[in-house]
């Protein structure tokens, strides 16, 4: 089973169920997870703006 390591103090711990639900099973650190989340949000904003700029 995957386990995110290098949890910063005060971070919400990920349960085994949380880890099972991750789409990207290669993640090993909280920093990698955070980077993926930031990238996903940027992609969403880019596509949202692109979609509505044509209206």
User: Predicted confidence band at 55 (pLDDT cuts at 50, 70, 90)?
Assistant: low
Domain residue limits at 42? 28-55
Question: In three state form, how does the secondary structure of 1-55 look?
Answer: CCCCECCCCCCCCCCHHHHHCCCCCCCCEHHHHHHHHHHHHHHHHHHHHHHHCCC
- Could you give phi then psi for residue 24, rounded to 5 degrees? -105, 100
Residue 42 pLDDT exceeds 90:
yes
In this prediction, residues 34-47 reach a mean pLDDT of 90
pLDDT, one tens digit per residue, over 5-25 is 667 787 777 777 877 877 888
Is 35 a domain residue? yes
Is 20 a domain residue? no
Tell me how many domains the chain contains: 1
Is 44 a domain residue? yes
Is 7 a domain residue? no
For the chain, the average pLDDT equals 80
């Amino acid at each position: 089973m995957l386990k995110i390591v290098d949890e910063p103090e005060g971070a919400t711990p990920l349960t085994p169920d949380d880890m099972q639900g991750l789409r990207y099973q290669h993640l090993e650190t909280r920093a990698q997870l955070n980077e993926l989340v930031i990238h996903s949000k940027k992609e969403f904003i880019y596509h949202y703006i692109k979609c509505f700029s044509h209206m």
